């Protein structure tokens, strides 16, 4: 290349290519599951409806894994784990548990902590804790002192849902509990039951990926 | 050379007392426990040694960069000195002496019950007197605490009585974490299968942060907690309350042990 | 390249054993390995079905892609030809134009420039990751990338920098200039030299592919058992360091043999330029430390794929094993980063002070002392990990003792300025800034080496500040000093002095503004690698992030300078713009393929500044015509 102009043009093209590549890179990393709001039922009261299924996806480049889903205000199930609830409110949470039992690594987490009354209702029965081996997932927000162990579907149950989407006619457990939200903030929530069979301590894969078994509770 | 020596002496004489007496003692981690006040003292001594050295180097460089610069655009050469044993031997001896002092001093500080650091299952430096054992169980991504002398109750938060020597038995259920209470000056890595013991005696009632300081996966940054140091009577009330509240959980917990290998452990498990 | 034949069409010229061929065969190799991995079925591997992530397939894919890449570049041609009994020159591609730079070339000067550009590329990528990290830390809760992607960014930044910059000085500058400085025509093993470069390029590319496989959550230290738990994005980390380790070992080997056996007549050890001493000691560290890392990562690969339990306590292993193996490599590794910096600074300082290097033997003793001691300090990374607590005083002592030889290096540099005539060019500015930064890095290292003090600062941003001061303030400033100093020799064109000064001041001020507050953040309770922090730390984090963006902008100024001076304006530089007395400046620019027509005979070290010219004896008097 001899002329200044040709060289300058090459440089400009080169810079443009680099900028585009960086743009793709950043856009790939920015991708995240959507934030879904809980459904308003009264002033300062919302209903958050979740379900857990054994194999949902693929999403964001990951294979189908066990995952939580949330019902949005229009009644659709969204594969996301970023939930939005209002601050200083009462949140009624209902979880439909379609997944089987796995067991807790730390049985301390088998006792309900942080809900109203420190209790939850499982299939209609009000309980303070469950046998640790029966846990299938937990819904825990440690920053809000909230730990709720979710029992799983028994091994011998009929009509189990092996992979999503699951509907309420299949075997499931229904867990209800209520929590108070306080100050606004972005709190993380996670599952404590090692449901990622195949990874060390069961805590890899879906257990470490936002959009499956981890997410954020946006209190706004 | 004399000008440099005088400038160094004057500046050190001014700065070192300011650093040692005014600045260093106020630095973190503070004086809330014997470990943290020991560390503050340690840091103060280190600052006391580093400050004159830093001043010397700074003075020399500023002098040399100003005085020995080329003035004017014509090429000029400097004075060709190549070596002087009268300089490098005292320098070598001096730096070695400082290093030996620091190592000895550090070991002496360490002998004070390990200065708050995790010492493993067989600590070399133990405190005297009665010790309250508190087990810190690190798991992905939460700290829980077990009090073996109170029926093995496990709690979600940490409370300690003031003025009581505590032995933290830090262990992990899965990957490496690290239990760090900055204001108490305690840090001990949580390794699976290992009982890492760290000693501290809180000396003030306060509320302190606890952070995980070893990368342990997705929520490492969120693995924090708040602990309390309270009066012994308040601690007694609290622990009995915890025993009452967590009675259902305590029934299903495994027996207290220095480390645990819960299921599932490996792939395919 | 036949310069007289009719030029072949471009597409004909592109097919062959060159970079394009390497890339094509690399991709083919990857798919072959991936397919092969999926064919392996065994009872002990049936958990693949659960995890949906076939580590063996990915690692075989990487392995065959690297083999394909190297074969495509032409590295197998000479060995295969010789094995088949055919005659083949071991010189590859040394004549010719710009095309040499895009393939296998045995000319050490070409490899040096390839390294400079390749390392520059990956340094830029690592830097972009750093900017993204600081962008996330502008706010106390993760708003941009989410917690998982953030950990991948942190890991990518650290891993890329640590792996690539180990060869950051030796690769470009030692490969280019050591033969010139010792009066040799080439390096001892030119083909090995070329392969170290292409291995590094393959490694960097493999590391970047981790984003397609989910990234990795372990940071650059990759501790077990988290690395066993990680998903298969971690396999690219394993392969990256395996290739980097191999590249390091071979580069070090080549350098050691060259310096020992190819010095020109008269170049005794006491006349060897100090930069070569730095390169030599670094090479020894590379050769001895890298194999340990490769072994440790092989064990991790086995733990991840075939269910061994080297690092799992529940099955008889120990996570301490990985930590010790890693840091046995890791600590010499950081001295691999620091020692070339020593060499460059002490080499450049005399040129701009116009004085000989003061205390040559002292400086060499310092460099060798640091290299030796670096193998005896690694457990200072493990002070609170629960290892045998009675070992800690020993490692505290050995780590503090490293400051003694480092002090000797400082002494040599400082005394070189005594009664000098300092010329404030851009390389000199970077050299002087090096002393400031490395002192802060070293002093904070003394704090960290003291066990009680380390209890509060280990694993926090204090450590981050320490090593960024030592590595970035040390190595990177020396790297830029070397670039500004040697670009006129390598390219025949000088970098613009004014833009260089803008780059320097922006970088120096922004660098200190970015990393000095991190000491405070660490003391205030912020651990490393966290995506969230207490909100009262936000103002300080925002200051750091903005300073980091300015630091990144200073790199853009540098790139602008490179483009402006080297690509657009291209004003030829004088043959020896810095009036250096070092041997490499006596060669013509561009340096011819064999470097020297005849091996030069050396009669002094290259630091004869300020020495009055030796009075030559008067020439024999011309015979006066006899009177009469």
pLDDT lower than 50: segments of chain B: 268-269
Element (DSSP H or E) covering residue C501 = helix C497-523
- Same domain flag for B106 and B158: no
- Same domain flag for A126 and A69: yes
Which backbone phi and psi does C307 adopt, to 5 degrees? 60, 35
C407-428 mean pLDDT = 93
- Same domain flag for A211 and A125: yes
Distance of residue B250 Cα from the nearest chain A Cα, in angstroms:
7
List, in sequence order, the alpha helices (H) in C209-318: 226-229, 234-261, 274-305
Element (DSSP H or E) covering residue B12 = helix B2-17
Distance CA(C241)–CA(C251), nearest Å, equals: 15
Which chain A positions have a beta carbon within 8 Å of B143's beta carbon?
Answer: none
Pick from A191, A218, A216: which is nearest to A65 by CA? A191
Which chain B positions have a beta carbon within 8 Å of A201's beta carbon?
Answer: 140, 173-175, 264-265
Per-residue pLDDT band for C17 (boundaries 50, 70, 90) equals: confident
Which chain B positions have a beta carbon within 8 Å of A129's beta carbon?
Answer: 248-249, 252
Give C592's DSSP letter.
P
Give yes or no for B209 touching A (CB within 8 A): no
DSSP string, chain A: --SHHHHHHHHHHHHHHHHHHHHHHHHHHH--PPEEEPEEEETTEEEEEEEEEEEE--BTTBPSEEEEEEE-TTS-EE---EEEE-SS-EEEEEEEE-SB----SSGGGGB-BSSGGG-EEETTEEESB--GGGEEEEEEEGGGTEEEEEE-B-TT-SS---SSSP-TTSS-EEEEEEEE--S-EEEEEE--S---TTSGGG-SGGGGSBTTTEEEEEE-
- Same domain flag for B104 and B191: no
Measured over the CA atoms of residue B2, residue B7, residue B10 and residue B12, the dihedral's sign is negative
Nearest-Cα residue of chain A relative to residue B224: A143
pLDDT of residue A58: 78
Asked if C148's CB is within 8 angstroms of A11's CB, the reply is no
Pick from A140, A215, A217, A147: which is nearest to A183 by CA? A217
Asked if C214's CB is within 8 angstroms of A209's CB, the reply is yes
Judged by CB atoms within 8 Å, which residues 150-189 of A form the interface with B?
188
CB C21 within 8 A of CB C15: yes
Residue B122 lies inside a defined structural domain of this protein = no
CB C152 within 8 A of CB C210: yes
Residues of chain C with CATH 1.20.210.10: 89-586
Distance of residue C361 Cα from the nearest chain B Cα, in angstroms:
9
Residue B257 lies inside a defined structural domain of this protein = no
Nearest-Cα residue of chain B relative to residue A189: B219
- Same domain flag for B156 and B205: yes
Distance CA(C339)–CA(C363), nearest Å, equals: 12
Q: Pick from B53, B80, B123: which is nearest to C610 by CB?
A: B80
- Same domain flag for A105 and A183: yes
Please, which chains are in contact with A (at least 3 CB pairs closer than 8 A)?
B, C
Distance CA(C275)–CA(C216), nearest Å, equals: 37
Distance CA(A151)–CA(A132), nearest Å, equals: 9
Asked if A210's CB is within 8 angstroms of C148's CB, the reply is yes
Using DSSP bridges, classify how beta strands A146-151 and A77-78 pair: parallel, antiparallel or unpaired.
unpaired
Residue B42 lies inside a defined structural domain of this protein = yes
ipTM of the complex: 0.94
- Same domain flag for A6 and A71: no
- Same domain flag for A26 and A73: no
pLDDT of residue C628: 44
Distances (CA, A) of C340 to A2, C200, C282, C473, C491: 37, 18, 7, 13, 22
- Same domain flag for A16 and A77: no
Q: What is the layout of strands, in order, in the sheet containing B142-147?
A: B153-155, B142-147, B132-139, B166-172, B196-200
Number of domains in chain B: 2
Per-residue pLDDT band for C497 (boundaries 50, 70, 90) equals: very high
Pick from A62, A39, A26: which is nearest to A214 by CA? A62
Distance CA(A121)–CA(C14), nearest Å, equals: 71
Distance CA(C82)–CA(C76), nearest Å, equals: 10
CATH number of the domain residue A156 falls in: 2.60.40.420
pLDDT of residue A40: 86
Nearest-Cα residue of chain B relative to residue A129: B248
Asked if C217's CB is within 8 angstroms of A198's CB, the reply is no
- Same domain flag for A145 and A111: yes
Give C612's DSSP letter.
P
The yes-or-no verdict on residue C399 having pLDDT over 90 is: yes
The yes-or-no verdict on residue A27 having pLDDT over 70 is: yes
pLDDT of residue C44: 53
* Residue of C144, C384, C540, C574 to mutate when probing chain B, most B C-beta within 10 A: C384
Residue B266 lies inside a defined structural domain of this protein = no
C532-559 mean pLDDT = 95
Instruction: Provide the domain limits for residue A18.
Output: 1-30
Whole-number average pLDDT of chain C: 90
DSSP string, C159-172: HHHHHHHTTTTIII
- Same domain flag for B148 and B218: yes
- What architecture is domain C89-586? Up-down Bundle (1.20)
pLDDT of residue C1: 45
- Same domain flag for A15 and A62: no
Distances (CA, A) of C303 to B139, C61, C239: 21, 18, 15
Which chain C positions have a beta carbon within 8 Å of B216's beta carbon?
Answer: 226
Distance of residue C151 Cα from the nearest chain B Cα, in angstroms:
7
pLDDT of residue B268: 44
Which pair of tokens denotes residue C73? 């570049």
* Exposure string for C189-200, b = 16+ CB within 10 A, e = fewer: bbbbbbbbbbbb
- Same domain flag for B142 and B229: yes
Q: Pick from A10, A29, A185: which is nearest to C145 by CB?
A: A29
- A100 CB-near residues (< 8 Å, 6+ apart): A54, A136, A152, A153, A154, A155, A160
Distance of residue B235 Cα from the nearest chain A Cα, in angstroms:
20
pLDDT of residue B78: 80
- Same domain flag for A78 and A154: yes
Q: Pick from B225, B246, B262: which is nearest to A106 by CB?
A: B262
Pick from C369, C179, C173, C406: which is nearest to C272 by CA? C179
pLDDT of residue C4: 46
pLDDT of residue B245: 92
Judged by CB atoms within 8 Å, which residues 284-343 of C form the interface with A?
312
pLDDT of residue A60: 75
Number of domains in chain A: 2
- Same domain flag for A3 and A96: no
- Same domain flag for A60 and A19: no
DSSP string, C329-369: HHHHHHHHHHHHHHHHHHHHHHHHHTSPPTTHHHHHHHHHH
Taking one residue from B and the other from C, the number of pairs with CB-CB distance under 8 angstroms is: 300
Element (DSSP H or E) covering residue C15 = none
CATH number of the domain residue B180 falls in: 2.60.40.420
Which chain C positions have a beta carbon within 8 Å of B74's beta carbon?
Answer: none
Residue B119 lies inside a defined structural domain of this protein = no
* Residue of A59, A143, A200 to mutate when probing chain C, most C C-beta within 10 A: A200
Per-residue pLDDT band for C626 (boundaries 50, 70, 90) equals: low
Distance of residue B102 Cα from the nearest chain C Cα, in angstroms:
8
Instruction: Provide the domain limits for residue B150.
Output: 132-252
Q: Per residue in C547-601, pLDDT tens?
A: 999 999 999 999 999 999 988 888 888 888 898 888 888 888 888 888 888 888 8
pLDDT of residue C600: 86
Pick from C479, C473, C557, C483: which is nearest to C514 by CA? C473
């Amino acid at each position: 290349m001899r002329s200044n102009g040709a060289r300058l043009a090459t440089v400009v093209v080169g810079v443009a290519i680099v900028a585009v590549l960086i743009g793709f890179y950043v856009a790939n990393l920015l991708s995240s599951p959507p934030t879904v709001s809980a459904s308003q039922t009264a002033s300062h009261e919302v209903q958050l409806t979740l379900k857990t299924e054994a194999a949902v996806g693929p999403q964001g480049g990951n294979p189908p894994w066990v995952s939580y889903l949330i019902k949005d205000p229009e009644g659709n199930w969204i594969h996301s784990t970023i939930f939005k609830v209002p601050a200083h409110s009462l949140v009624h949470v209902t979880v439909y548990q379609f997944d089987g039992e796995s067991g807790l690594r730390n049985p301390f987490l088998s006792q309900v902590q942080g809900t109203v009354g420190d209790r939850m209702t499982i299939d209609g029965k009000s309980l303070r804790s469950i046998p640790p081996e029966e846990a299938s997932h937990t819904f825990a927000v440690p920053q809000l002192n909230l730990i709720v162990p979710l029992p799983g579907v028994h091994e011998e149950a009929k009509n189990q849902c092996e992979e999503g989407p699951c509907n309420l006619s299949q075997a499931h457990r229904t867990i209800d509990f209520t929590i108070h939200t306080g100050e606004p903030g972005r709190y993380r929530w996670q599952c404590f039951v090692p449901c990622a069979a195949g990874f060390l301590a069961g805590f890899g894969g879906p257990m470490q990926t936002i959009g499956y078994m981890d997410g954020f509770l946006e209190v706004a | 050379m004399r000008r440099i020596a005088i400038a160094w002496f004057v500046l050190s004489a001014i700065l070192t007392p300011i650093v040692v007496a005014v600045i260093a003692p106020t630095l973190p981690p503070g004086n809330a426990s014997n470990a943290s006040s020991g560390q503050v003292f340690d840091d103060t001594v280190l600052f006391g040694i580093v400050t004159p050295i830093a001043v010397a180097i700074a003075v020399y460089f500023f002098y040399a960069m100003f005085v020995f610069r080329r003035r004017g655009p014509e090429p000029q050469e400097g004075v060709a000195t190549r070596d002087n044993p009268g300089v490098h031997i005292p320098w070598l001896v001096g730096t070695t002496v400082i290093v030996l002092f620091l190592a000895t001093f550090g070991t002496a500080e360490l002998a004070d019950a390990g200065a708050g650091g995790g010492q493993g299952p067989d600590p070399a430096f133990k405190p005297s007197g009665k010790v309250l054992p508190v087990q810190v169980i690190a798991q992905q991504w939460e700290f829980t605490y077990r009090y073996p002398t109170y029926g093995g109750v496990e709690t979600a938060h940490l409370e300690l009585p003031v003025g009581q020597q505590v032995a933290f038995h830090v262990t992990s259920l899965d990957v490496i974490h690290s239990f760090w209470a900055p204001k108490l000056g305690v840090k001990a890595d949580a390794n699976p299968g290992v009982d890492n013991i760290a000693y501290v005696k809180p000396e003030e009632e306060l509320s302190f942060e606890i952070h995980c300081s070893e990368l342990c996966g997705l929520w490492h940054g969120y693995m924090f907690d708040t602990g309390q140091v309270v009066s012994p009577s308040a601690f007694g009330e609290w622990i009995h309350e915890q025993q009452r509240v967590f009675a259902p959980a305590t029934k299903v917990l495994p027996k207290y042990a220095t480390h645990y290998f819960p299921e599932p452990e490996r792939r395919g498990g | 390249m036949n310069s007289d034949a009719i030029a072949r069409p471009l597409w004909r010229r592109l097919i062959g054993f060159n970079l394009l061929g390497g890339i094509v065969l690399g991709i083919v190799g990857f798919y072959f390995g991936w397919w092969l991995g999926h064919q392996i079925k065994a009872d002990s591997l049936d958990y693949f079905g659960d995890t949906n992530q076939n580590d063996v397939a990915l690692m075989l894919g990487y392995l065959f892609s690297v083999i394909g890449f190297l074969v495509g570049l032409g590295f197998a041609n000479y060995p295969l030809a010789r094995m088949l009994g055919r005659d083949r020159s071991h010189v590859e591609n040394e004549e010719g134009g710009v095309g040499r730079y895009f393939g296998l070339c045995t000319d050490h000067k070409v490899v040096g420039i390839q390294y400079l550009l390749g390392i520059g590329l990956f340094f830029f990528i690592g830097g972009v990751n750093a900017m993204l990290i600081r962008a996330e830390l502008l706010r106390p809760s993760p708003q941009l990338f989410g917690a998982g992607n953030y950990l991948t960014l942190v890991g990518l930044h650290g891993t890329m920098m640590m792996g690539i910059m180990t060869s950051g000085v030796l690769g470009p500058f030692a490969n280019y200039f050591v033969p010139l400085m010792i009066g040799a025509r080439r390096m001892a093993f030119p083909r090995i030299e070329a392969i170290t470069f292409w291995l590094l390029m393959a490694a960097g590319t493999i590391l970047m592919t981790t984003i397609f496989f989910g990234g990795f959550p372990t940071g650059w230290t990759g501790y077990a058992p988290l690395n066993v738990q990680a998903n298969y994005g971690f396999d690219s980390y394993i392969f990256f360091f395996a290739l980097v380790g191999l590249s390091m070992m071979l580069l070090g080997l080549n350098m050691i043999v060259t310096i020992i056996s190819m010095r020109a007549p008269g170049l005794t050890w006491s006349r060897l330029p100090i930069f070569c001493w730095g390169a030599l000691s670094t090479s020894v560290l590379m050769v001895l430390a890298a194999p340990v890392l490769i072994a440790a990562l092989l064990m991790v690969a086995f733990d991840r794929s075939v269910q061994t339990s080297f690092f799992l306590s529940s099955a008889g292993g120990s996570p301490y094993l990985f930590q010790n193996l890693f840091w046995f490599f890791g600590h010499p590794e950081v001295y691999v980063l620091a020692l070339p910096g020593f060499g460059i600074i002490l080499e450049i300082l005399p040129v701009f002070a116009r004085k000989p290097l003061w205390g040559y033997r002292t400086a060499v003793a310092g460099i060798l002392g640091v290299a030796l001691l670096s193998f005896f300090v690694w457990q200072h990374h493990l002070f609170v990990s629960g290892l045998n607590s009675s070992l800690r005083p020993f490692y505290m002592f050995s780590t503090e003792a490293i400051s003694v030889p480092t002090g000797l290096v400082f002494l040599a540099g400082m005394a070189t300025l005594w009664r000098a005539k300092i010329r404030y060019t851009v390389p000199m500015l970077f050299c002087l800034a090096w002393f400031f930064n490395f002192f802060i890095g070293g002093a904070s290292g003394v704090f960290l080496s003291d066990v009680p003090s380390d209890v509060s600062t280990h694993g926090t941003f204090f450590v981050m500040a320490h090593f960024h001061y030592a590595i970035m303030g040390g190595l990177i400033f020396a790297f830029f000093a070397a670039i500004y100093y040697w670009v006129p020799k390598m390219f025949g064109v000088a970098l613009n002095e004014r833009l260089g000064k803008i780059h320097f001041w922006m970088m120096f001020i922004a660098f200190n503004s970015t990393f000095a507050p991190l000491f405070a953040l660490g003391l205030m309770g912020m651990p490393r690698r966290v995506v969230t922090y207490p909100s009262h730390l936000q103002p300080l984090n925002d200051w750091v992030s903005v300073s980091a963006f300015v630091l990144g902008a200073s790199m853009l100024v540098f790139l602008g300078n490179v483009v402006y001076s080297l690509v657009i304006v291209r004003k030829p530089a004088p043959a020896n713009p810095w009036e250096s007395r070092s041997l490499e400046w006596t060669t013509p620019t561009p340096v011819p393929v064999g470097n020297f027509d005849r091996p030069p005979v050396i009669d002094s070290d290259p630091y004869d500044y300020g020495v009055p010219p030796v009075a030559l004896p008067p020439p024999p008097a011309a015979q006066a015509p006899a009177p009469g």
